[in-house]
A and B are shown apart, each in its own frame.
Chain A
Amino acid sequence: MTAPFAGFGLGLRKPHYAAFLEGDVAVDFVEVISENFMVDGGRPREILRQVRARYPVALHGVSMSLGSADGLDERYLARLRDLIDEIDPLFVSDHLSWSRIEGFNAHDLLPLPYTLEALDIVCANIDRAQRALGRCLLVENPSSYIDVRPADMSEWQFLEAICSRTGCQLLLDLNNVFVSASNHGFDALTYLDALPLDRVRQIHLAGHSQGRAMLIDTHDQPVPDAVWRLYAHVAPRLGAVATMIERDDDIPPLAELLAELQTARAIAAQAIQVAA
């Protein structure tokens, strides 16, 4: 059995394609948005092949819609399987959310009610996805702007239940924890302390913006101090994980993202000393 992957990476975004193709960027892996490469051919797929020749690649999806009450889109799964077979990714992940119902696709990560009924549906969908993809999925905790009621459990209890029932693992997005905690008034540390951290294989670090009434998960800002503090809190109790900076908008020069990644490395190194 191979040891779980541990390292530090970045999301691969268009402004930085050339740097990743031409030079040695100091990362241990890159993450790509799966859907951007689930195409028939052309330049995007060729770029991914070339990047994959240099770096381990994690596939991060936004359209699997694990919470759809009418099940998963088989054509989507087939295309993703095709990409997995070609790229042999480090991880395959998507979100604890839904975007599609009865032929409509919102292209957003919409919130679920944490009910027993939803738990059955999500677990059935994860089982189906893992069978179709031949892979263990990493499921990411979402950020949300509605705390859907009534609920039978908290989000962290829901995540623990899906891990227990399906064998899936977790992508822990600490910015999402912070955003949802702020928007819905729960304690982020309580959330993290209750989560099954032994299931976490990947960490997302990102930034957000202040909206009129709530925090918005914009991924267009540097990682804020509050999110770094959550990382420092949880890092001593994590096993081998892949940690990355997730930036999707107002993409800065690569050097700025690498500097943020260096901060993550320093916090993780300190966590190892604390744990020892």
Chain B
Amino acid sequence: MSLLALQRDMRAWLTAQDAQAAGRIGRDARPGLLIYQNNYRAQLAACLEAIFDRTRAWMGREAFLAAASVHIERVPPSSWTLDAYGADFPQTLARLHPEDPEIAELAWIDLTLDQAFVTMDAEPLSPAALTGVDWDRAVLRLSPSLSLASQTTNAAAIWSALAARAPPPPVEAAAALGGLRVWRSRQGPRVRAIEADEARALERTRAGARFATICDDAVDRLGADEGVRRAGRWLESWLRDDLIVGVFPECSPCLAARCLDASQARTR
């Protein structure tokens, strides 16, 4: 048997318990194959338990491990890093529990917080760094750790209670379709429920829209006074939360005074 054929047989044994493949590996290999099979499944289940700690606490360990077992059958690992194995688990949970959407939403929070922990480093801007920015042209660069999702339940509140080892609130449908943002601040990974308008503004900013366009959009949707006020609040909160890591274009010194006036006028 060639090495490639042996390795294909081992894959078939590990992923599908293929008895014929096991037989080709060796007549006396059965005890060892069972050890490798057990190691394979135990390691993947342990990986999912480590990443989806709050989801497991919400579901209960037995139900969680049953879902993990389905996932291990459905999605063989492909990345060089085991840390990537959880990427599709929220989808598996959504398929298994369509009547309990908070489960997949909790899993998304667990997953993105885990991913945010090791995303690329980017130094957040201080408020002082925005002095002199030309707000008509400015495009904010957001932290590479930022992830956004819509939410249909109070999953963020449930997650926060579980993280604090407090009794979680009962599941509720979100009052209005809102969003979740997960990112890494200087203090570590964070999650927050946000309004749909802020989620849209973050998505547009990440896609390269100027902040002036974000403001205009808010004014169109919310009216002049509320739109400007809301955009100002977003900017303040993004700065406070270490979400802004750059602003383009950089301010030209000769325009500094005019830009400062414009920024002050826009954020008043």
CA distance A137 to B85 in the complex (A): 27
Contacts of B14 in A (CB 8 A): 106
Contacts of B120 in A (CB 8 A): 40-41
Contacts of B58 in A (CB 8 A): none
Q: CB distance B80 to A75 under 8 Å? A: yes
Contacts of A148 in B (CB 8 A): 6, 25-26, 29
Q: CB distance B2 to A101 under 8 Å? A: no
Q: Told that A35-B81, A41-B121, A111-B32 touch, could you supply 9 new A-B pairs with CB distance under 8 A?
A: A39-B83, A41-B120, A69-B4, A73-B80, A107-B40, A145-B35, A148-B25, A213-B35, A216-B35
| B39 interfacial contact with A, CB 8 Å | yes
Residue among A44, A100, A103, A144 making CB contact with B32, cutoff 8 Å: A144
CB distance from B119 to the nearest CB of A (A): 6
The size class of the interface chain B forms with chain A is 35 or more
| B20 interfacial contact with A, CB 8 Å | no
Q: CB distance B118 to A69 under 8 Å? A: no
**Interface pairs (6), CB distance under 8 Å:** A43-B117, A101-B10, A106-B10, A108-B36, A146-B29, A214-B35
Q: Is the interface of A mostly helix, strand, loop or mixed?
A: loop
Who on chain B is nearest to A80 by CB? B80
Q: Which of A2-10, A113-121, A268-276 contacts B (4 or more CB under 8 A)?
A: A113-121
Contacts of A35 in B (CB 8 A): 80-82
Contacts of A42 in B (CB 8 A): 116-119, 121, 184
Q: CB distance B80 to A118 under 8 Å? A: no
Who on chain B is nearest to A120 by CB? B3
Who on chain B is nearest to A70 by CB? B4
Residue among A63, A106, A145 making CB contact with B81, cutoff 8 Å: A63
Contacts of A102 in B (CB 8 A): 8, 11
Digit string of B131-145 for contact with A (CB within 8 Å is 1, else 0)? 000000000000010
Contacts of A235 in B (CB 8 A): none
* B 1-45 contacts with A by CB, 8 A: 1-4, 6-8, 10-11, 14-15, 25-26, 29, 31-33, 35-36, 39-40, 43-44
Q: Is the interface of B mostly helix, strand, loop or mixed?
A: helix
Q: CB distance A145 to B31 under 8 Å? A: yes
Q: CB distance B8 to A105 under 8 Å? A: no
Q: Check A146/B3 contact, CB under 8 A, given A42-B121, A107-B82.
A: no
* A 37-91 contacts with B by CB, 8 A: 38-45, 63, 67-70, 73, 75-76, 79
9 shortest interchain CB distances as A-B pairs: A145-B32, A41-B121, A146-B32, A39-B118, A69-B4, A213-B31, A101-B7, A40-B120, A42-B118
Contacts of B26 in A (CB 8 A): 146, 148-149
| A98 interfacial contact with B, CB 8 Å | yes
CB distance from B81 to the nearest CB of A (A): 6
CA distance A42 to B39 in the complex (A): 29
Digit string of B103-146 for contact with A (CB within 8 Å is 1, else 0)? 00000000000001111111000000000000000000000100
**In the complex, which of the residues A41, A73, A79 has the most CB atoms of chain B within 10 Å of its own CB atom?**
A41
**In the complex, which of the residues B36, B40, B78 has the most CB atoms of chain A within 10 Å of its own CB atom?**
B36
CA distance A44 to B77 in the complex (A): 23
Q: Check A69/B2 contact, CB under 8 A, given A105-B80, A106-B40, A107-B43.
A: yes
Residue among A107, A144, A212 making CB contact with B44, cutoff 8 Å: A107
CA distance A117 to B1 in the complex (A): 10
| A253 interfacial contact with B, CB 8 Å | no
Q: CB distance B25 to A146 under 8 Å? A: yes
Contacts of B188 in A (CB 8 A): 43
Contacts of A214 in B (CB 8 A): 31-32, 35
Q: CB distance B79 to A105 under 8 Å? A: yes
CB distance from A85 to the nearest CB of B (A): 16
Digit string of A137-156 for contact with B (CB within 8 Å is 1, else 0)? 00000001110110000000
Contacts of A115 in B (CB 8 A): 3
Contacts of A39 in B (CB 8 A): 83, 118
Q: CB distance B119 to A104 under 8 Å? A: no
Digit string of B67-107 for contact with A (CB within 8 Å is 1, else 0)? 00000000011111111010000000000000000000000
| A112 interfacial contact with B, CB 8 Å | yes
CA distance A44 to B78 in the complex (A): 23
| A211 interfacial contact with B, CB 8 Å | yes
Contacts of A241 in B (CB 8 A): none
| A110 interfacial contact with B, CB 8 Å | yes
Contacts of B31 in A (CB 8 A): 145, 212-214
Contacts of B10 in A (CB 8 A): 101, 106, 110
Q: CB distance B81 to A38 under 8 Å? A: yes
CA distance A29 to B26 in the complex (A): 41
Contacts of A100 in B (CB 8 A): 80
CA distance A43 to B117 in the complex (A): 7
Contacts of A104 in B (CB 8 A): 11, 15, 76-78
